[in-house]
Amino acid sequence: MAAVMVISAARFVVKVLDIDISWRLHKVSDGQRRRVQICMGLLKPFKVLLLDEITVDLDVLARADLLTFLRKECQERGATIIYATHIFDGLEDWPTHIVYVANGKLQLAMPMEKVKETSKKFL
């Protein structure tokens, strides 16, 4: 059963990242190689996953699909994802905490609920 889930997840990630399974890594572009590396990384079992701007080169629909996949993986695996990004669309209901770093210094760290409460005061 677990093997079926891994194969299903692999097919989904390959589709979302627009990977051609006939690619040969020594013949593909840097961007294509990066997508293959992301796919391989996402399929390994993880408890903590650090992602740095992995959706920056994806179109809006592929990004939404990948974020849905990541959210599901977190819930099913009980894993934590640390996701560094400057694109916050689609993340409104997913994070449990927000951390803001500027100029190499921690500027803000708080639970998402508190961020929502604070932002309502200013809207």
Could you read off the pLDDT of 26-54 as tens digits, one per residue? 898 887 888 888 888 888 878 898 888 88
- Residue 11 falls within a domain, yes or no? yes
- Residue 100 falls within a domain, yes or no? no
**28: domain CATH number?**
3.40.50.300
- Residue 111 falls within a domain, yes or no? no
Query: Which residues have CB under 8 Å from 67's CB, separation 6+?
Result: 55, 90, 91, 94
Confidence of residue 1 (pLDDT cuts 50, 70, 90): very low
- Residue 121 falls within a domain, yes or no? no
Based on the structure, what is the number of domains in the chain? 1
- Residue 108 falls within a domain, yes or no? no
Provide the β-strand partners of residue 51: 83
State the pTM of this model: 0.72
- Residue 96 falls within a domain, yes or no? no
Residue numbers of the domain that contains 87: 2-91
Confidence of residue 2 (pLDDT cuts 50, 70, 90): low
Pair 81, 70: CB distance under 8 Å = yes
Cβ atoms < 10 Å from Cβ of 16: 23
At 55-100, the pLDDT tens digits run: 877 778 878 888 888 888 888 888 899 989 888 888 878 888 999 9
